[in-house]
Copies of this chain bind each other. A is one copy, B any other.
Amino acid sequence: MTIAGTTRDDADLLARMLLDHQVARFYYDEAALLDEQRFGDWVQLFSDDTHYFMPLRRTVSRRQRDREFTRPGEMAFFDDTKGVLEARVAKLATGTAWAEDPPSRTRHVIANVRVVDDRGDELDAESNFILHRTRLKSEETTWVGSRQDTLRRAGGSFLIARRHVHLEQTVLLSQNLSNFF
């Protein structure tokens, strides 16, 4: 079939657009869960074999850029299995996680969502984010970075089978990372 006045290219474009949009919408819904502090629902978006990884970043010379990020097996800010993510969520639910009481206020701005590879059962998607956090009277933190995800198709939606988060900062200008990316 063709859409009136459209070509096969348009149909391909449409298919790609549908996928980009579906992933973007998935991310927007995910962000809403986080900003509404529905962490229990959020963690269920991850596959049981997921890997949630935020490497350390170093300021290195152009010649040695291969050393910019740490790798799995080295130090990281996050290097979590599903179990660790669930523990983090459980911790927040204890009612004794003082650093998050009063709760910090977060706003996830998700942008530049791109599906970069579609392998059928799984696809790779990249996105940029601005995570804005305010705490107490007037503490403000902004984290900027990108995410490289592997999403696994599941029941009309996705499971996050892999998430690599890259922050732009090297020295972290905030006292903790008690939020999710």
A132 to B146, CA, bound (A): 12
A13 to B113, CA, bound (A): 17
Which residues of A are at the interface with B, using a C-beta cutoff of 8 A?
A: 1-6, 9-11, 13-18, 20-22, 25, 28-29, 31-32, 35, 57, 59-62, 65, 95, 100-103, 105-114, 126, 128, 130, 132, 134, 136-138, 140, 144-146, 156, 168-171, 173
Q: How many copies does the complex hold?
A: 3
By the criterion CB–CB under 8 Å, are B108 and A112 in contact? yes
Q: List 18 A-B contacts (CB under 8 A).
A: A4-B11, A10-B18, A13-B22, A17-B22, A28-B113, A31-B112, A31-B128, A35-B146, A60-B102, A61-B102, A106-B168, A107-B146, A108-B128, A109-B128, A110-B111, A111-B111, A134-B169, A138-B171
A14 to B16, CA, bound (A): 12
